[in-house]
Structure 1
């Protein structure tokens, strides 16, 4: 069907008073031959929507250009169905709310945004979703501890088939070994019976859940909607299909053998939290050294946690577990006394009620740093601490039992990670090291999930807490983050929901996250492929494998539509129906770059749609003015940056280019994991080229920005503009 474009300009929100709307209409109709161009003072109101719908139905408009507010706002209002393409031009936040009303430069800016929007609307096509012929909707859950059992039950309740794989002979994981447990729902003021037996009975009675115990996953192949799972049980291999995977393999206690400075190993009556549970299960808490009933028990918190020499992070559940164990001790021996030596008591959420209950039962709390732990000839323990409140050393002796809250280490911390390629000439010594395996992914990018620091397999812990770096595989429970029991149950329920969303979105042909609902996917023109492997190596999500000749083998349902592969490809053979290298390149070329004599420099801003664009929008909401030389093009991810855009802009006379991408790293992550970092690496190559051409390399600059830095974005732009003014006009301007 031929494309018929209708352009609709909103004159509300100050747009009509700030810019020359007639000039915008002229750009749309005269320069770009739009057959329909209309204005409305309240385009998102019912009359404005009816105006557009009338043209769609009566005039055959199938491509709508909305020149008004940002694409992030009222996207549901301007949704006219799958057969109508919509392109948004942000005149409000990026033009009239950030620049002087009625000024010539402000109207010129609006005209350029109209030109860019029209160029994109002409080139873009409505995506055709990638749909599998036979979509699997079963959900594989790996690990049957509290998190895995909860995820399995919740998914099964929603009507989905669940495949539950547990390496041990029984269900329950670490929690199954507890005598009693901390509460997981109100009231939170006392200890409860272990919930695992009831959950196990519920699983066994649910026909939607297929359970494999004493089993492991030998191989995970395929992609969301079509995972092929090979399970080993009792020496036999069983094949299952799944649409999504939930990783709930849990955590293991931190190795107490590394806590000799706290008396473990040298003092017989220094034990771990897990060992305390074993004692309590016998019906009484007695000293391991001689079986004598304990009277005084010391709980040492952060035993290895929050310690740069051991576990740098808080393990989240330890304080609550110690409080529970103190309550357990009181239940088993009402005369026993508990003493807590702690850095901070972290009884998050409603566990504060349990903390207060233990306090009222007579427990003593000493905010302190451990100095020394020793045992006398009778195996009684003496603890010397620095009391952080009194500011002096205190010695507590005749302790019958010391319980170390020794933290948790995710099961993924010891899985095999892909090795970084050696530098040219670097000699790599092969060291045999035994590594755990959990998922055994049949991915070119490695057999297990990629981890951030500390071994947790996050993707983006701020915005997408369940997602891992492999699409369709969701982590939950203590393998995802340190969690207490109540948080684990909530977390596992959320992971079940995300897995359900995954199988349904995949069946529909839509992306899951961050571009939820996106129907596009990368298409490869293999005729020009040089097998350089850049796309397979740089894809952050393992969405591209290779055949035996090194040709890319895309897996569209693994793809998150970031376009990193598109930016990586030197031959520019990768594109989306509505996002491509030529499309963005033509938007860059569509801007009218003034002659040098006009003294109106032009700065191109390529901004990530995840943090940079929202920050720019928020700057507009705050009416923060910035330099009118800039023209902003949103990118799906800065990782989609193709260097030809920079080359085209500089050769076309642009005076500067500013790249705004997400902050990357472990503490604040790029939404597409590696995109921002890859863009920065690519930019270093551009800088070398500019220097060779005699152009200032600082004409092209990269800045990391997060959404909360919106107040700084105007300053960043203005400072860059000042530098460009110092450099003077682009020497290539006269040749453009």
Structure 2
């Protein structure tokens, strides 16, 4: 029999729609049945019975959103195609019941679901042998924690550290701030315990004084080459954790605070070394320091230096103020801050330090530092609480200079990354006019990827990641950033971060072995298929792929590394020859879905097809339905894996059929993007800039195609967005192809 269509009549569906009319549509293509509670055991058994006894292998479930009841409608994806048609949230919960337009919408969606199912085939599984070893780059607290967590899970790891010792910055810290009540006593760092555990483990291999010279391959099967004291060594790994940490901002840039001019002006890093000697002394003459002043945000939150907050410096200065008090109970510590940021449980530490009578905190701005003949320092402070200027005489000034990602090239200021450095080093025009990404130096990872030797970074040098939904992920599948290389964080936060990255690395290895995607389409077993005999070597797929899946041979033909793929379909949308498809997702499928829509031959209201991202736009529509928001009934929504998969032929197909306009709803993009596939919305926007030529051939206005950026929580803006586009289309009049 093949196709089975199942219509649920509960949740208001049966009361709002003509179910018999829907059954007739389903019955034309295969068996069609209804049930009042399809997600109940009885409803699921109805489907299973047809699977087992009637030969149904393509299942269309016309009921609720594809984002709910996934456990109930979980049929083996290697044997069966399951297509969800959203009659509840996207139709009856946002349209008036028993209205002709509501019925027309439901009938279109059932037709569209049947086409999608018929145009799909189960994916062919691609299981593979993998190496269950994780490469960890960096032997600081993050790297060591990751190695120990990986060992606990029964896996092996290799730690590559460029210096001659493990421990990183944590090894150089005198003490660490408390993490439990009463939050008033500093702790001895636990780094030595971790170093000992790693060094004695049989499942963790450590390479000191070593650097990565090459990482080649893909998740589950990386070939690693390192340079160890001048000698080359090779091994295999299944995943990679980048844990190279941070470096302090160069205080030589902060001449206004006297660093480099006055010996008794030091950084918070230098303060750790000073405190570890047992007493706090003046660097100039070794005399005991009786008063120490801490300058918060020294060069931070400043577009000329470090534009962001390093988040841990306030706690570090509170801790170091405690050093001063513990070394000499008669000594005083002054902390001048723009804002005191001691978040979470560290608020308790802040309060405990406030209660210390020898620690003085003042909100203000340091205007200058002067040196007296005896080496003492006069700090000029604009006290914003008292509203007046103050002069404080101290023995030592400590600058909280902030944390910079280790990915930042030497000799480059953080703000350079937002100026000419990005333009010169990260982007260039290729021969075919496309943008091609290049990575900056220094080369930490030396990836053998067409897109460059390093993972892409954001404008401040931190690895590019989806920082809300997938914080450890980078734009190189199987490579995870953790700790302060990813974002400023302290040793405790880095340890938690390392555990998360370790779990992600293990998950990647195991899912790769099963031929499954890791995220965001976790478990997806489809892979892109290429008809290379029709390839024209235009290179668009290799240029636009966000994840480095594709390299090129000497002729420019794509050469894939399939296990890097995240199944977004961006390559499919990029290809003008339409030679790239998935077994259950293709250019032809979406074109056929559009052609199945019953476009009204006449009417005053524009009829619109909306291509929507399944990650943000689709759930935003669900939210609108849940809140019973009334939306324009003349829209038909076609769900895409990512807006980056939009092929321009779909625009032609839709408008040729008489659709009045095409609206693309994708995730936000830019510096603060939350596109699940990194830049799908962005490449769709770039592609649409070329739609003018296509519409010119059809003698249609380019404004009939429009793209918006939408977040899940923008659901309440949908009525306005949709109405504004509809009103705009009215100004052009009906599509002249309507009725053909």
- Normalising by the residue count of structure 1, what TM-score does the alignment of the two structures yield? 0.96
The CA deviation string for residues 91-146 of structure 1, in whole angstroms up to 9 with x for no partner, is 111111111110001101100001110011011011123222x2111001100111
**SS of residue paired to 1:112:** helix
Which residue of 373, 378, 384 corresponds with 2:380?
384
CA RMSD of aligned residues (A): 1.7
Q: Distance in 1 between matches of 2:183 and 2:618?
A: 43
Give the equivalent residue in structure 2 for 1:711. 716
Give the equivalent residue in structure 1 for 2:415. none
Matched ranges for 1:317-328 at <5 A: 317-328=312-323
Contact 2:81/2:121 (8 A) holds in 1: yes
Q: Distance in 1 between matches of 2:702 and 2:183?
A: 60
Does 2:530 correspond to 1:535? no
The CA deviation string for residues 340-366 of structure 1, in whole angstroms up to 9 with x for no partner, is 000111112211222122222221101
Which residue of 441, 444, 464 corresponds with 1:438?
444
Which residue of 286, 293, 299 corresponds with 1:298?
293
Q: Distance in 1 between matches of 2:605 and 2:42?
A: 39
- Decide whether aligned partners of structure 1 residues 53 and 692 sit closer, same or farther in structure 2, where only a CA change above 3 A counts: closer
Matched ranges for 1:398-409 at <5 A: 399-409=394-404
**SS of residue paired to 2:349:** helix
Q: Distance in 2 between matches of 1:421 and 1:525?
A: 29
Give the equivalent residue in structure 1 for 2:599. 593
Q: Distance in 1 between matches of 2:181 and 2:159?
A: 28
Matched ranges for 1:20-35 at <5 A: 20-30=18-28, 33-34=29-30
**SS of residue paired to 1:193:** coil
Give the equivalent residue in structure 2 for 1:189. 184
Q: Distance in 2 between matches of 1:188 and 1:658?
A: 55
**SS of residue paired to 1:349:** coil
Does 2:81 correspond to 1:85? yes
Which residue of 702, 712, 729 corresponds with 2:734?
729
The CA deviation string for residues 611-635 of structure 1, in whole angstroms up to 9 with x for no partner, is 1111111011111111111000011
Give the equivalent residue in structure 1 for 2:15. 17
Which residue of 120, 133, 141 corresponds with 1:138?
133
Deviation for aligned residue 1:423: 7.8
Q: Distance in 2 between matches of 1:304 and 1:199?
A: 33
Q: Distance in 2 between matches of 1:688 and 1:529?
A: 22
Give the equivalent residue in structure 1 for 2:201. 206
**SS of residue paired to 2:407:** helix
- Structure 2, unaligned stretches of length 5 or more? 411-420, 434-438
Give the equivalent residue in structure 2 for 1:429. none
**SS of residue paired to 2:126:** coil
Deviation for aligned residue 1:185: 5.9
- Decide whether aligned partners of structure 1 residues 405 and 712 sit closer, same or farther in structure 2, where only a CA change above 3 A counts: same
Deviation for aligned residue 1:184: 5.1
**SS of residue paired to 2:218:** coil
Deviation for aligned residue 1:696: 2.1
Q: Distance in 2 between matches of 1:300 and 1:179?
A: 20
Which residue of 33, 39, 45 corresponds with 2:34?
39
Which residue of 102, 111, 118 corresponds with 1:115?
111
Structure 1 runs (4+) deviating above 3 angstroms are: 183-189, 415-419, 422-426, 598-601, 691-694
Does 2:654 correspond to 1:649? yes
Q: Distance in 1 between matches of 2:605 and 2:164?
A: 74
Give the equivalent residue in structure 1 for 2:615. 610
User: Which deviates more, 718-727 or 140-149?
Assistant: 718-727
The CA deviation string for residues 444-467 of structure 1, in whole angstroms up to 9 with x for no partner, is 000001011111112211111000
The CA deviation string for residues 255-276 of structure 1, in whole angstroms up to 9 with x for no partner, is 0001111111111100001111
The CA deviation string for residues 460-491 of structure 1, in whole angstroms up to 9 with x for no partner, is 11111000110000000000011122211111
Does 2:459 correspond to 1:462? no
Give the equivalent residue in structure 1 for 2:507. 501
Q: Distance in 2 between matches of 1:337 and 1:612?
A: 56
Contact 1:223/1:555 (8 A) holds in 2: yes
Q: Distance in 2 between matches of 1:493 and 1:187?
A: 26
**SS of residue paired to 1:56:** helix
**SS of residue paired to 2:47:** helix
User: Which deviates more, 113-122 or 57-66?
Assistant: 57-66
Q: Distance in 2 between matches of 1:419 and 1:387?
A: 43
Matched ranges for 1:334-349 at <5 A: 334-349=329-344
**SS of residue paired to 2:664:** strand
Does 2:372 correspond to 1:365? no
Which residue of 351, 360, 376 corresponds with 1:356?
351
- Structure 1, unaligned stretches of length 5 or more? 427-432
Which residue of 423, 426, 429 corresponds with 1:422?
429
The CA deviation string for residues 242-288 of structure 1, in whole angstroms up to 9 with x for no partner, is 11100000010000001111111111100001111111121111100
Q: Distance in 1 between matches of 2:181 and 2:497?
A: 17
The CA deviation string for residues 475-529 of structure 1, in whole angstroms up to 9 with x for no partner, is 0000001112221111111111111111111111110111111111101011100
Contact 1:286/1:293 (8 A) holds in 2: yes
Deviation for aligned residue 1:68: 0.6
Q: Distance in 2 between matches of 1:670 and 1:373?
A: 46
Which residue of 451, 456, 460 corresponds with 1:450?
456
Give the equivalent residue in structure 2 for 1:553. 559
Contact 1:130/1:556 (8 A) holds in 2: no
Q: Distance in 2 between matches of 1:695 and 1:475?
A: 47
Give the equivalent residue in structure 1 for 2:575. 569
Give the equivalent residue in structure 2 for 1:664. 669
- Decide whether aligned partners of structure 1 residues 440 and 186 sit closer, same or farther in structure 2, where only a CA change above 3 A counts: farther
Q: Distance in 2 between matches of 1:229 and 1:188?
A: 44
